[in-house]
Amino acid sequence: MKIEVCGCCIEEVVRGDLRSTLENLEDDRKKRKTKDGTAVFDLDQKRDIEILDEHIAAMKLVLRYYGET
pLDDT at residue 6, rounded to an integer:
87
More reliable by pLDDT, 2 or 53:
53
What pLDDT, in 10s, does the model give residues 11-48? 899 999 999 999 999 999 999 999 888 999 999 999 99
pLDDT of residue 7: 82
Q: What is the pTM of this model?
A: 0.85
| DSSP result, 2-69 | -----HHHHHHHHHHHHHHHHHHHHHHHHHHHTT-S--SS-SSHHHHHHHHHHHHHHHHHHHHHTT--
